[in-house]
Structure 1
Amino acid sequence: MARLFVTRPEQDAGATARRLAELGHRAILAPLMEVRVLPGPALDLAGVQAVLLTSANGARALAERQGRPVTGLSVLAVGDATARAARDAGMGHVESAGGDVDDLARLVGARLTPGGGALLHVAGTKVAGDLSGMLAAAGFTCLREVLYEARAATSLPESARRALAEGAADGVLLYSPRSAALFRDLARAAGLGDALGSLTALCLSAAVAAGAGGGWGRVAVAERPTEDALMDLIRTLFP
């Protein structure tokens, strides 16, 4: 049984912990971000042909801001977890790109036309990749609406700090360059930088691995930037 830190926000960590339990592993919850929906009125969706979601947080934020399910529009999600969050929020016509923002841009090009109307990209205050730029280059009008912020933790949760100090963990699941760098920096700030040498950094993508930097026992990258691929990686490394 591997003991693995789960760094996702609380809203998503439980589902990941259950998936790890199904594989026979134990999750140590260590959320690094607190997600807050920004206040504001419901969005005017007139003239919008599709909603683009690059995180599950965006799906939940849009539903909360609108105050009702968003129906009647195509919803294109970056990956399967984001698509599930959109469906859970009552959105219809949801399709997953099954990857990263590059895959999402390709899906937009395959499903939509620039003349069909504007695209609404629901985003947080920190944006990874240049989805708007890629779509603009293809002739689309992409409107970015910042609906939420992910506030970074200022210290490791006590349970995570204790597990790291006692050598009671084998790896850490890392989902973004920002959270990867944050886990590393918070461990060092707690005087536990050397303890990273006993952990496997399980990274969603090469960009996440770059954010994680050095000092780990080993760094492993999922074949695709999806949680399914990350679970496959865990099966391989911790059979």
Structure 2
Amino acid sequence: MTFAAKDVMASASTILQDAGTVRWTPPELLGYLNEGVREIVAVKPNAASQTVNMTLAAGCKQTLAAGQTVLSRAVRNVVSGKPIRVLDRREILDNMIPGWMNTANLAFALDVTYVIHDMTDPRTFYVAPGALVTSSIEIVVGVMPADVAQGSNPIDTATYTGTVGLPDLYRNCLVDFTLYKAFSKDAGIPGAAQRAVAHKGLFDAALVSIGNGENAMSLASFAKGG
């Protein structure tokens, strides 16, 4: 399910008791919302993902396209359909096939057998055997959603119909982040700073909860052999 910017903004305005969007204008709330999306993706790179076919560069080292934030999974070779095994440590190949990055030691090929990916450099990975210029693999990547644009009438929240580039699961998180930023604006007013901290805490806790849920589902699937 998808949701629009106006859904988050209207909820925030109601809680702020600013239904007329006088103290916190729609463009300001939208800015907080877009900032919240970037924060979510920074903490959980898989929050926004796509499955794409990637044409590989010749050789072993590969870099994701602009706008792609992290390699989440390597699935298969596009032409043959052969599945790909992901390794998180290159030492495995270093021990098995010393000098595997050199085509003289392991001939480059159309099909990739292994992908080596280290999260210390999330946008870079290596393939073995090294790829040919015609090699293509199916991968799942994290992406950075585009900012939601202003509505057709900047002072009317109802016109902010642009879709937020995250699953509906993150809608309440964005409400809390928007409220955190809004109350931070009035940090000098009694109680505002505490409310800002409270909403930031709810935002952080929700992301942890979502992550724990995903991990539990992944473990259950693994236990069933899925």
Identify whether the pair has TM-score above 0.5, normalized to the shorter chain.
Answer: no
* Greater Rg over alpha carbons, structure: 2
Considering Cα pairs closer than 8 Å and 6+ residues apart, tell me whether 1 or 2 has the greater RCO: 2
Question: What is the TM-score normalised by the length of structure 1?
Answer: 0.30
